[in-house]
Amino acid sequence: MFLVHVGAGIGHPVSLPALAGVGLFIGYIAGMFGVGGGFLLTPLLMYVFGVPPPVAVGSALCQKCGTSIASFLKYRKLQRGEPRIDLVMIGGSLIGVDAGARLLAYLSRRPPWIISGRSVPAVNLVLDALFIVFLSLTALYTFREAWRAMGRPPRGDVTVPGPLARVRIPPYIDLPNVGLTRVSVPVLCYIGFGLGVASGVMGIGGGVLFMPILLYGYGLSARNAAGTGILLLFVTVAVGTVIQARHGFVSLGLAMAILIGSSVGSQLGAITTNRLPNRALRLIFSGLVAATVAMIAWDLCKLLH
Amino acid sequence: MVKGANSWLYALACVVVPVLWGLVIVWGVDRLQSRMSGPRGDEDEPVSPEYHI
């Protein structure tokens, strides 16, 4: 029903209501657990809808332009986090997202690799491996946090400087909003570059990597960490979308169908959040991420055998 | 890579259209919430650390 060709190299027609349904699911997850949902969207587009990996990545970034502007406005109102971190990291992140998009284009042009006598597309193999590694780390990290939070009083908004805050590579910057002094600018720039590459290659916002860095690397409180990086996220996905679209990897129709569904889903998810305790939400979330890892691992096994 | 002015226009549209949709949704939800419950001062609402994953 409502099968349409959405272009961008997707040879087969795609059902718009089904895409909106996936958007509804992604939005529900995003609203319920407070995540962006990008880590789920790219694999779902690839494995459920048969969208070529580069187009799945580009269209996921395009969809995130709509969701990240909403996050940015929300957190600007709350005035959490340290905007100086975003500003310092933007340069590295933009170079990174360009490098990531070029890497994706290079991988999609490579001839298939022969593994165990089977022809495997390079881009599928690399993306599967990256998603499995990063999502496994996320599932473990979230599960561990939920487990450790059991019976422990909340830490509040106190910053306890972590190992990255003590690195001494000049020049330095003070971050008064989060109580850190003499933080190395080059280290922040390189972290921004790494996050940008992840966005460009995988079509994710990068928070999956950034949150552990802020919480454990710099020792920020959960609230300040949540409010940091939103401006960086928006600028990175916007520039990433332009670069991917120039490579011909973005289907605007696909992205908008998902975005419309996710706009409704996120409101429904936010209502559910209020009915469940935070620890239960984290445990369910880690289970969901683990299920996604299992889905990708299954696809990788099918690809290789 | 797609060449020409049209590709730049399309790339720009791929950013502007979702952003506009996001702004409309934010505005609509704010309006709906203020109509349903009035201002409640929820600035200290707890936030989840994984919000922008």
H helix intervals, A34-170: 38-47, 53-78, 83-109, 122-148
C-alpha radius of gyration, chain A, whole number: 19
Is the Cβ pair B18, A80 closer than 8 Å?
no
pLDDT score, position A89: 95
- pLDDT tens per residue across span B4-47: 678 899 999 999 999 999 999 889 888 888 888 765 555 555 55
CA-angle at A171, arms to A165 and A177, nearest 5°: 50
Tokens 């939400």 locate to: A281
B chain contacts of residue A79, beta-carbon cutoff 8 Å = 43
Residues 1-53 of B with CB under 8 A from A: 1-2, 7-8, 10-15, 17-19, 21-23, 25-26, 29, 43, 45-53
Among A195, A246, A260, the residue to mutate for chain B (most B Cβ within 10 A): A246
Return the DSSP state at A52. -
pLDDT score, position A48: 86
Q: Look up residue A102 and give its two tokens.
A: 């070029």
Q: How many CB atoms lie within 10 A of CB A238?
A: 23
Among A205, A223, A285, select the one facing B52 at the smallest CB separation: A205
Those residues with Cβ within 8 angstroms of residue A20's Cβ, 6 or more apart along the chain or in another chain: A257, A258, A260, A261
State how far the alpha carbon of B17 is from the alpha carbons of A20, A267, A275, B2, B23, in Å: 16, 20, 34, 20, 10
Region of A22 on the Ramachandran plot (φ > 0 left; ψ -120 to 50 alpha; else beta): alpha
Among B15, B25, B29, select the one facing A238 at the smallest CB separation: B15
Q: Look up residue A187 and give its two tokens.
A: 């280290």
State how far the alpha carbon of A88 is from the alpha carbons of A153, A187, B8, in Å: 33, 10, 27
Do A294 and A135 touch, CB atoms closer than 8 A?
no
pLDDT score, position A13: 79
- How many A×B Cβ pairs under 8 Å? 142
- pLDDT tens per residue across span A131-189: 999 889 888 887 887 787 776 666 667 888 989 999 999 999 999 888 899 999 999 99
B chain contacts of residue A80, beta-carbon cutoff 8 Å = 47
**A214: nearest CA in chain B?**
B49
Query: A108-113 contacts: CB < 8 A, separation 24 or more?
Result: A108/A52, A108/A53, A108/A54
Task: Give A175's strand partners.
Answer: A180
H helix intervals, A122-229: 122-148, 185-202, 207-212, 222-227
Among A26, A211, A282, A292, the residue to mutate for chain B (most B Cβ within 10 A): A211
Among A34, A68, A256, select the one facing B47 at the smallest CB separation: A34
Q: Look up residue A154 and give its two tokens.
A: 């909340």
Q: Does B49 have pLDDT greater than 60?
A: no
Closest CA of chain A from B15, distance in Å: 6
Tokens 């972290």 locate to: A191
Phi, psi values for residue A128, rounded to 5°? -60, -45
pLDDT score, position B53: 45
B chain contacts of residue A36, beta-carbon cutoff 8 Å = 51-53
Among B18, B43, B48, select the one facing A66 at the smallest CB separation: B18
Low-confidence spans in chain A with pLDDT less than 70: 1-2, 4, 6-10, 33-36, 151-156, 273-274, 278
- pLDDT tens per residue across span A173-206: 999 888 899 999 999 999 999 999 999 999 888 7
